[in-house]
Structure 1
């Protein structure tokens, strides 16, 4: 499924070389990470989430990889979570290292962990109906739709409803930080087992 990823799936300014490198890593480690565990998003969008996590790590080492401002405005959940990730010490350490394989391992585990955390957080809230939205609608390509930029587009309403739940959870609990730390530690353990052994 990762082979279907395109430049358009990224929230960052990337080019085809970045997509190709990501696909090379995904193919290289496919026996370790055969597929994503999509809960909130469809499978391709869950792979796009892993891609965006990986580009987020890579962005520490180049000024070229910046968040696309036009997408950042509309993908408020992702922008908010990226800002929250930057505050977590273990994430800062992973961003500082320049190791494609390790960053892929962490991006994969992080993408899955954040998806599961969002699902569990929203499921327990008054906004749980958001999880019943049709899965076939592409999340990371929604900005390409004609009605995407209208103020009353359902995409924006749903983003606003979901982000309120997530902000409240992060501000009042430690569950996001725990999920992130667990994902990174799991990824490091897997990397040490499969790469360093």
Structure 2
């Protein structure tokens, strides 16, 4: 079996260490968060690079976090989406529903393996981020990408009457219409997901093979 890797933080705390329970779309506690951070640290030298095309770096790590909990939720029924956030993060809940329809995701969900889930969650985070960026960038709504790099997963904590949050919900709606239409008429999302999962499986097998 491949050896385990350790890492040392260069210049201070690694970005994923700044994640909070509030970044999760799922009902979690600090123990769940510690599990994720342990895996992120464990595999830092193998999976170090977050693309952060649409979101800032911390929110991009939060996307990986939420992918990981999504995969785990298929086996751990105490991991459920926070209903308060299903409205706030309509794009994310929509994409979670779409992921559940993809055969390769359903096959992966037959396992219950935190390390494997982490590899897949990380690669999905990068792949979906890039897919969203490319899809929106080619549309008439490309201007929303400039605002998306502001605080995203903690935006729900702000008063919805504030100007920023009014814009936040409006932009979610604009982007969701484009992404949903693309998924309904093209195969690019499914292709991106399959490619990400297969890449994760190849990497996982490489580092865990006898």
Q: What TM-score comes out, normalization by structure 1 length?
A: 0.95
Unaligned runs of 5+ residues in structure 2 are 1-14
Unaligned runs of 5+ residues in structure 1 are none
Contact 1:53 1:111 in 2 (8 A): yes
> Counterpart in 1 of 2:43?
29
Q: What TM-score comes out, normalization by structure 2 length?
A: 0.90
RMSD value, Cα = 1.4
> Counterpart in 1 of 2:137?
123
Inter-partner Cα distance in structure 2 for 1:124 and 1:185: 26
Q: Does 1:14 align with 2:37?
A: no
Inter-partner Cα distance in structure 2 for 1:107 and 1:6: 18
Q: Structure 1 residue 95: deviation in Å?
A: 1.8
Residues matched between the structures, number: 195
> Counterpart in 1 of 2:197?
184
Correspondence 1:49-64 to 2 at 5 A: 49-64=63-78
Q: Structure 1 residue 134: deviation in Å?
A: 6.2
User: Quick one: structure 1 residues 148 and 174, their matched pair in 2 at CA, closer, same or farther if it must change by over 3 Å?
Assistant: farther
> Counterpart in 2 of 1:194?
207
User: Quick one: structure 1 residues 98 and 27, their matched pair in 2 at CA, closer, same or farther if it must change by over 3 Å?
Assistant: same
Contact 2:24 2:62 in 1 (8 A): yes
Contact 2:59 2:151 in 1 (8 A): yes
Q: Which moved more, 1:17-26 or 1:139-148?
A: 139-148
Which of 1 and 2 has greater Rg? 2
Q: Does 1:167 align with 2:170?
A: no
> Counterpart in 2 of 1:104?
118
Contact 1:71 1:143 in 2 (8 A): yes
Q: Which moved more, 1:91-100 or 1:108-117?
A: 91-100
